[in-house]
Structure 1
Amino acid sequence: MKKQLLLSSLSIVLALGLAACGNSNSEANTNANTKTNTKNSPEGTTEVPKEKTKISYWTGDRHDAEFIKERVAKFNETNTDGIEVELVVKGDDFDTALDLSFQTADSPDVIRVKENTIGTFYLKEYLAPIDEYLTDEMKAKFPEMNELNTFGGKRYSLPNFGTTMRLVYNKDLFAKAGVTAPPTTLQELVDTAKKLTVAGKADGAYGFALNFKNPTSALSRSARVIAEMSGFGGFGYDFKTARFDYSGFKPIIEAFKQIRDDGSMLPGVESLDIDPLRAQFAEGKIGMYLSYSSEPGVYSSQFPAKIDWAAAPAPSIDGTVKGASGFLGGQWLALSTKSEHKEAAWKFMEYMYTDQMLTDYQENGFGISMVPTISAAAKVPQVNGIEGFLPNKYDGVWPVYPTVAPEGMKSSDAFFKYMLNGGDIDAVITDLNKRYNAALDDAIANDGLKAEPDSSFDPAILGGKFAK
């Protein structure tokens, strides 16, 4: 794989430990810990309790928050090194909050990284290499994936799970509307959304929704996978020509606009975040949406589903699969460069990467393991809906595309603006191609970025490598 860089992409704080900061119990514990204990000490001597080493772990994942909270609490209770971990769970503002934290003294010790953030965080020098901590056994166990967890010959994270993307649909509403199968083309997606809206009108249900409070998040879980299934790079980058070309997104964005124009999209999606969307789906108010394989865990614990639901492969543009649905992953936890307790942070990371933890993570339905020894031994999760997310012949890992910072509006914002206001989609795409390629040329000339064409690149052969 050519060396390239990754795309740059309700804050809930769960403080775990002996007590919460700022309350009377915490104050009492603090005072108690600072007092001299002479009860069991030899006469004339004092015993000073060992101070805890406090570290923080920041994550943007909410689907597994309760599971991780329990495991962090167990670590805090059982580790013999006096380490206390504070878990901080953030929403779609994770990247911004992390940037701000690195400008202060409040940055985390351990950071959740993803395939679309690890390259950016690496370039910003947020991440410390972990090679010195890895045993030979760990090096053999965890796949080294260039540009996904390894940069410049050094590892910055280890994989846990991979994420598939699917069309999530309300089987009850499908049955009520007389729709016998999920859509496989964009036209079927538009038509099905309309039928579901008609059938659900009396109950306030609509055929389709996306979390457009954050257009990048919305289109990254929807337009991206439809484009990839159709043979186009999911972020507008053409690996054959090494140029940005958003023309493949035209029918996808037009279909989304048509669904909205038809009145088949849930009202208020402009301010809809992913968790409120999930809550609405669990109540039966949404017929379809596209998202990641984290959803089964969400509907078994976070928002228990009151409906019968399932997942199916995302549609392609015309029903023909010419590429692969991105199987995302290769990284999970990373060590912060600003951590003052790297040894303690690594001990926590080591705990999180134990076989038992990774096995439980899959078997509880939070993700499909990308660690060969775990995927071979772990059971298929007994979680409703997971079967639709298991890797199939169309799931595959795409190459890493280059990160650029174009002047003006991002592609996701430009497409969402068109969906809301209309206009000339061809002009929108022409403008995006011009600005993104100008940024690409600038990064190649001034930042040492490498982007070379690969005339032999064939997206149709990417799929099937993770299917059992």
Structure 2
Amino acid sequence: MKDLELSRRSLLRMVGGAAAATAVGAATGCSLVGADDPSSSSGNKVTIKVAIVPDPTGASEFYRQQFDTLEKRNPDIKIEIIENPTAQELTAVELAFQQGNAPDVFRIQDNLFEDVYAKGWVAPLDKYVTDEFTSRFPAGSLNPATSGLHRDGKLYSLPLVWGPWSFTRTLLVNHTAAKVGGYTGVPATWEELESASTAITKAGRGKTFGFAGMWQAGGLVQMLQTTAGPFSVASGVDYRTGKTALTDPSLVNAVELIRRMHNNKVMTPGWETWTDATQLYTPFAKDQLAIFIASPYEIAVIRTLNPDIDMSIAPVPVPASGRGGYSGQTSSFSPLWSMSAQSKNPDKAWKVMDFLSSKEFQLAYYEKFATLTALQSAWQDKAAADPDQKAILDVAAASVRLSPNPILSSDGGKQLMTAIGSNQDLAWAEVALPAILHNQPFAPAAAQLNAKLDAFINQQIKDLSAKGVKVSRADITFPDWNPLQAYQPGQK
């Protein structure tokens, strides 16, 4: 039951014997980009070690160029770049700390941050934050209750490529393929999506298909469910009540929609086994697939494959009865840059972090990698001039809302939701897919699983309470939250 904010980079994270061996080399100083002096200082200069990964392609050279600019402005700082393998990002940083050779500033993204934070290796940054610094970010996005960068009310990390667009999913329509079925519009409802896809596939005669998607632990269903009801239903709980919600109509009906389209042979054959996104956007770019739901980064890939494609970018369709929810932005940002609690030169390390969160740097990152960054003010004018990027931002504004997050709200909520998400026996996708493939109603299986999930939560509360954790259903309940409005901290 994972949220949709899974990044494409997380697919690279694998840990094994070979990974650990590679990380040892990284942590002990291999792959230094532009470094010629491993000492902690050089003359009157102080060396600040910055750990990065070579992701995306070209990042190594980009960071060196950017840090060269920073060094020229700060003659007392020398920046030594340590390049860790992308897939061993966490392992390499952990080994560096264990060996007493920790970087001053390091890249630890998303959920990997929790490990180094729990070990006490990251420094709070609050004393450096000024009104000017806060003003760079969207209003209210650094609220400790919802930023995603705070722990226990203190700021511990800074973002890079994160914002509403990280939670955005877009409906893409290839009009050349759609015209095979006589369809010239853009589906706004589930019913229109099903009708149009059916007509296109029928007319396509095995060469053109109306709709397809990747299962990805139920991600295809979840992208539809969030338009019909509270986004939290896909995690198993309705955050308005704290009760289990696997029988919620928004989830059941989304599964039923995919079940009908699969069993009516509307979707590209084999879609349920796809594990590579190219299996979606390659046929789409070749006019063999008319409609699919995409992550924003896939749009640029499709344009590369077919620069002349006649394509619309729109919000995911909603039920004909009307929108019942939005994609839940569970935090304003996700951690990426942290400062070592062991840094001997924290003030100068902050200068590096401040630079990484500057409009200048984030504009340069946007221009180099065509990636939207946390400081929207740095690139919004340029993005508005790009039709695809403007469309992504428009879809984000129309379909994403800040939402409550028990993991950020309390330790009890964090432990409960982590336990639920870690229990594969409670994953609704595991019973939804067989229902789809065998053309069986999902509701009965959902009801049985819902009862198991309810019992599991009750038992977790008892077990955690016995260990001294203060926890109850209240930790996963936000009674004043309206799924059709942005969440305001303090509503609980």
Rate the CA distance shift 1:275–1:120 in 2: closer, same or farther, 3 A: farther
**Structure 1 residues 57-456: aligned runs within 5 Å:** 57=53, 65-66=56-57, 68=59, 71-75=62-66, 78=69, 80=71, 81-86=78-83, 88-89=85-86, 109-113=106-110, 117=111, 128-131=122-125, 134-136=128-130, 137-142=132-137, 143-145=141-143, 146-147=145-146, 148-159=148-159, 160-163=162-165, 164-201=168-205, 204-212=207-215, 214-215=216-217, 219=219, 222-234=220-232, 235=234, 236-247=236-247, 248-269=250-271, 270-301=273-304, 303-305=305-307, 307-327=309-329, 330-335=332-337, 349-360=353-364, 366=370, 371=375, 373-374=377-378, 379-384=383-388, 386-387=390-391, 389-390=393-394, 391-401=396-406, 402=413, 403-406=417-420, 407=423, 408-445=425-462, 446=464, 447-449=469-471, 451-452=473-474, 453-456=477-480
TM-score (normalizing by structure 1): 0.71
Rate the CA distance shift 1:120–1:105 in 2: closer, same or farther, 3 A: closer
Rate the CA distance shift 1:429–1:378 in 2: closer, same or farther, 3 A: same
Question: What 5-or-longer segments of structure 2 have no aligned partner?
Answer: 15-24, 38-42, 72-77, 407-412, 488-492
How far has the Cα of 1:134 moved from its partner? 3.4
Rate the CA distance shift 1:365–1:422 in 2: closer, same or farther, 3 A: farther
Rate the CA distance shift 1:73–1:261 in 2: closer, same or farther, 3 A: farther
125-134 or 231-240, which deviates more: 125-134
* CA distances 1:117-143 after superposition (whole Å, capped 9, x unpaired): 478668865973541573313244333
Is contact 1:149-1:155 (8 Å) kept?
Answer: yes
Which amino acid letter does the alignment assign opposite residue 134 of structure 1? Answer: Y
How far has the Cα of 1:245 moved from its partner? 0.1
Rate the CA distance shift 1:444–1:100 in 2: closer, same or farther, 3 A: farther
Is contact 1:290-1:314 (8 Å) kept?
Answer: yes
Pick from 51, 56, 69 the counterpart of residue 55 of structure 1.
51
Is contact 1:363-1:379 (8 Å) kept?
Answer: no
How far has the Cα of 1:78 moved from its partner? 4.7
Q: Distance in 1 between matches of 2:47 and 2:373?
A: 37
Rate the CA distance shift 1:372–1:8 in 2: closer, same or farther, 3 A: closer
Rate the CA distance shift 1:362–1:259 in 2: closer, same or farther, 3 A: farther
Which amino acid letter does the alignment assign opposite residue 157 of structure 1? Answer: S
How far has the Cα of 1:88 moved from its partner? 4.8
How far has the Cα of 1:103 moved from its partner? 7.7
How far has the Cα of 1:398 moved from its partner? 1.8
* 1:458 equivalent in structure 2: 482
Q: Distance in 2 between matches of 1:224 and 1:127?
A: 36
Rate the CA distance shift 1:348–1:409 in 2: closer, same or farther, 3 A: farther
How far has the Cα of 1:110 moved from its partner? 0.8
* 1:37 equivalent in structure 2: none
Rate the CA distance shift 1:52–1:337 in 2: closer, same or farther, 3 A: closer
Is contact 2:172-2:314 (8 Å) kept?
Answer: yes
How far has the Cα of 1:241 moved from its partner? 1.0
Q: Distance in 2 between matches of 1:12 and 1:206?
A: 33
* CA distances 1:17-75 after superposition (whole Å, capped 9, x unpaired): xxxxx9xxxx9x99x969xxxxxxxxxxxx9xx9994623386xxxxx34756633523
260-269 or 331-340, which deviates more: 331-340
Q: Distance in 1 between matches of 2:116 and 2:217?
A: 24
Which amino acid letter does the alignment assign opposite residue 460 of structure 1? Answer: L
Rate the CA distance shift 1:199–1:288 in 2: closer, same or farther, 3 A: same
Question: What 5-or-longer segments of structure 1 have no aligned partner?
Answer: 14-21, 35-46, 60-64, 91-96, 464-468
Is contact 2:122-2:341 (8 Å) kept?
Answer: no
* CA distances 1:92-150 after superposition (whole Å, capped 9, x unpaired): xxxxx66766886699931222xxx4786688659735415733132443331424222
Q: Secondary structure at the match of 1:174?
A: helix
Which amino acid letter does the alignment assign opposite residue 448 of structure 1? Answer: K
Which amino acid letter does the alignment assign opposite residue 484 of structure 2? Answer: A
Q: Secondary structure at the match of 1:167?
A: strand
Q: Distance in 1 between matches of 2:451 and 2:94?
A: 33
Q: Secondary structure at the match of 2:292?
A: strand
Rate the CA distance shift 1:103–1:373 in 2: closer, same or farther, 3 A: closer
Q: Secondary structure at the match of 2:419?
A: coil
Q: Distance in 1 between matches of 2:439 and 2:461?
A: 34
Which amino acid letter does the alignment assign opposite residue 51 of structure 2? Answer: I
Is contact 1:359-1:378 (8 Å) kept?
Answer: no
Q: Distance in 2 between matches of 1:237 and 1:85?
A: 42
Q: Distance in 1 between matches of 2:5 and 2:372?
A: 24
Rate the CA distance shift 1:261–1:455 in 2: closer, same or farther, 3 A: same
Is contact 1:7-1:120 (8 Å) kept?
Answer: no
Rate the CA distance shift 1:291–1:299 in 2: closer, same or farther, 3 A: same
Which amino acid letter does the alignment assign opposite residue 266 of structure 2? Answer: S
Which amino acid letter does the alignment assign opposite residue 456 of structure 1? Answer: D
Q: Secondary structure at the match of 2:142?
A: coil
Q: Distance in 1 between matches of 2:301 and 2:269?
A: 23
How far has the Cα of 1:156 moved from its partner? 3.1
TM-score (normalizing by structure 2): 0.68
Q: Distance in 2 between matches of 1:123 and 1:417?
A: 40
Q: Secondary structure at the match of 2:324?
A: coil
80-89 or 229-238, which deviates more: 80-89
Identity between Structure 1 and Structure 2 (%) = 17
Equivalenced residue count is 415
Rate the CA distance shift 1:317–1:379 in 2: closer, same or farther, 3 A: closer
Is contact 1:311-1:389 (8 Å) kept?
Answer: no
